[in-house]
Structure 1
Amino acid sequence: MTTTSPTPDTATPPRTSFAWRGLFLRLHFYAGVFVAPFILIASLTGVLYALTPQLESWVYADQLRVPVSAQQLPLAKQVDAALATSPQGTLVAVRPAPEPGDTTRVLFAEEGLGESERRAVFVDPGTGKITGDLVVYGTSGVLPLRTTLDQLHRNLMLGEPGRLYSELAASWLWVVALGGLVLWITRPRNSKRIRRHGLIGVWVLAGALFLSATGLTWSAYAGENVATLRKTMGWTTPSLKMPGASSDHGDHSDHGSSGSGHRDVDSVLGAARASGIDAKPIEIGLPTTSDGVWKVAEIGRGWPTQVDAVAIQNGSVVSSVKFTDYPLAAKLTRWGIDAHMGVLFGWPNQLLLLLLGGGLVALVVLGYRMWWKRRPTRGFGRPTPRGQWRKAPPVALVGLGVGAVLVGWFVPLLGVSLVLFLVIDALLGLRAKQKAAS
């Protein structure tokens, strides 16, 4: 039995005479074919990352959990216990046990570790027993399993060159998503393949736009433009002023050089609590200069967000920064990043990311399936022909071109890859004309 495709004029007329449908269809098709692998990888690794908090608690239970004790040792004694293991690095910070049954983390800067990595020695706050040591990453203090999945999602564990993959995925995701929305609105009435693909696309649209926007804040090139825009508009996150810290080194220079050592850690914690630092998870940073200024910061990324910080010198608060005083844009940035990581609302946030990531994977798979079934060798015709831009009004076309240039400048990988698509398409068109002429 021979299957024939319907003619454009009879079986499946579009719901609207939108003149640009062909242009959007061509862009969506080629962007989907060439960029979808990057989106697929980013979605799969993102789903894996969303699963890690509970898995991490299980894998590292020996380091993280201890029997609940009626009394706890002074924090300084817990630090002494960690120092007694003769760690190779320099003591830089302490994270007191946030809940009964949790361990205290004593953090060391150590040569040979990567950027934002520290060595954590885990201490039983009731007995001073050492339960292990692990390399932790970032302000969240994630453990090796989640660090590996984070790097896999961020750069495929290829370092800075690998970041291009995730930036390319984030750069095109919103374009593909909005283009798909246009195609869904102007779709033919009777196409089950388009209906399945389109319905999933509509359901994940808002999430896809969110992931694209927040993902670009971490990117190498667009991220710099985002940072510049935030600085220009006054949307940057306020930083804690550390008296005595140099402008070149901030609070990361000469860790542990203060003569007070760690002996004052309990009094510093008491002063911080009295000043309003009331989050359970906190980090106490040791003095970084001879001025003896400590930094105590909340590290609660859930809801409500607790990221207040104070600088303490000689038992008194000398500066502070509170989340309630952040500009709205800085708050939105904080919430967006934490929601992207799946920590803002706990397990509901994780579940939403799992559904969103699964939806994006399904979109890519269904999209490739549609392309495979409609490829030219199956007799369903070729992709939308070139020259669709001629159907658009000239004024609107100029506006679209200017917009594309501006967006391409702000999101460089999008601009470069779009130009590459256009050049390749033009060369293929020239080749086809020469072949037809011969």
Structure 2
Amino acid sequence: MSTISASSALNRLFWRLHFWAGLVASPIILFAALTGLLYVFTPQIEAWRHADVDHVTVGSQRLPLDAQVAAALAAAPDAALRYVVPAHAADDSTQVWLRAPHAHHGAGEHDHGLPSGSIVYVNPYTGQVLGQLQEMERFKTWAKKLHSNALQGDGWRWLIELGASWMLVLFATGLVMWWPKPQARGGDGWRALVPRWGRGRATWRDLHAIVAIALGLVLAIVLVTGLTWAEHSGQRFRAMQASLDQNAPKAPKSLRSAPGDGPHLGWQAALDRSVAQAPDIAMQITPPAGADGVWRVENFDRTQPTGRFQLALDARSGATLFASGWERLPALARATAVGIPFHRGEFGVWNQVLLALAALAAVFSVVSGLVMWWQRRPRGKVGAPTLQARALKAVPLWLWPLMAGLAWALPVFGWSLLVMLALEALARLRARARAAG
């Protein structure tokens, strides 16, 4: 029996893994890519759908923020206040975010992962209430929840996480299998980037690889940033971030205002103190919780990473109890602050175009992969690539700790990998039993 090289064994293992992962994860990847493509165009769709509440005619002078908040609360007397987003640009409305009437403070803002609160929009110049929308009536919120959990709540977030995890594996294994030898060693070299037209399945295979590679960096960023806030892998990421950022400045939840019987700082005063020391960016202001609570202020606009900030103000004196900005963020937090808005297409048209191309590339990868499978499969059979026991034994040892580390970092991938390995083991046992019989 001839021996098999480690590289050949790795290629055969990756081919089988690539095949099963693609066949199983394709529907999820298609759903994630198409809903992500829809979400990419959120700014244009929201500008069309919500202009009547988002923007106002510019007036001569804005009313105090206290009067604007009072007008919003009068329009929704049964709801509880969450936070306020004061008008930033000259033609912006003020947004007053409310909890549903049945919700309790600190909880109930979501119904099984779907927002249940509402937003009241106020003209900052006249105090007129422009309208009130449920959070899920905002196209951005609806499209985001469609993309992340198919509008089914947090219990379904694992499904999109499963697709994203396996797409990373598909991309990595596909890249390894495609990587050509240099021309000096008799390989295709850079010519592997030119598709062979008119060659049937070979053309599909070339296009399958080239399209994914052309947008590989964008796809990788989208997948990794998406997994950082996924339910299970996100927990791993946040734990790692916390361990690396132990010295990062954070506003303690236990902050309290100085004791006293004096009047509490008002909305306009809190806004003025915040504007004086924060970047020029749209902000959200959360009022004190309880008699000794503090005002908490942070950027509402996430499209400007360097404009990130957090403030905590004494509710009576207005003194700054805590302040942090971009310059004090650790490297990993800065990377996240840039990566997540990029994932959402919030850096402008160029960002939207890249993400749209990446989504279309993912769709094409799935479609072309299915076409290749259909063309090569024997009639009436699945046609999975074979993996002999001797090839499995020749796989480099470094692969197994790498897979274990990936399974730990991406728990949903790890659980599904265990299921796949169990099915592989059962299939091999059945094959041995048939051979023995």
Common topology (TM > 0.5)? yes
Matches within 5 A, 1:28-427: 28-112=18-102, 114-115=109-110, 118-136=117-135, 144-186=138-180, 191-234=202-245, 238-241=249-252, 244-245=255-256, 260=263, 264-274=266-276, 276-291=277-292, 293-313=294-314, 314-343=317-346, 345-377=347-379, 382-387=383-388, 390-391=390-391, 394=394, 397-427=396-426
8 Å CA contact 1:173–1:209 kept in 2: the answer is no
Question: Aligned partners of 1:382, 1:130: CA distance in 2, in Å?
Answer: 63
Query: Which structure 1 segments of 5+ residues have no match?
Result: 1-15, 138-142, 247-257
Q: Deviations over 1:194-252 (max 9, x none)?
A: 11101011112212221221122122222222122122222686432466459xxxxxx
| CA displacement at 1:180 relative to structure 2 | 0.8
Query: Normalization by structure 2: what TM-score?
Result: 0.83
% identity of equivalent residues: 33
Q: 1:260 to 1:44 in 2, by over 3 A?
A: farther
Question: Aligned partners of 2:424, 2:76: CA distance in 1, in Å?
Answer: 63
The 10-residue stretch of structure 1 (156-165 or 176-185) with the greater mean CA deviation from structure 2: 156-165
Aligned to 1:221, the other structure's residue is in SS state: helix
8 Å CA contact 1:170–1:211 kept in 2: the answer is no
Structure (1/2) with the larger helix percentage: 2
Q: Deviations over 1:161-211 (max 9, x none)?
A: 311111101211211101111121149976212111010111122122212
Q: How many matched pairs?
A: 401
Question: Aligned partners of 2:203, 2:52: CA distance in 1, in Å?
Answer: 52
Superposition CA RMSD, Å: 2.8
Q: 1:409 to 1:371 in 2, by over 3 A?
A: same
Question: Aligned partners of 1:320, 1:243: CA distance in 2, in Å?
Answer: 15
Q: 1:318 to 1:423 in 2, by over 3 A?
A: closer
| CA displacement at 1:329 relative to structure 2 | 0.8
Q: Deviations over 1:385-412 (max 9, x none)?
A: 122x634775x63221222222222322
Query: Normalization by structure 1: what TM-score?
Result: 0.83
| CA displacement at 1:157 relative to structure 2 | 1.8
Aligned to 1:101, the other structure's residue is in SS state: coil
8 Å CA contact 1:309–1:320 kept in 2: the answer is yes
Q: 1:88 to 1:145 in 2, by over 3 A?
A: same
Question: Aligned partners of 1:214, 1:235: CA distance in 2, in Å?
Answer: 21
The 10-residue stretch of structure 1 (87-96 or 363-372) with the greater mean CA deviation from structure 2: 87-96
8 Å CA contact 2:95–2:121 kept in 1: the answer is yes
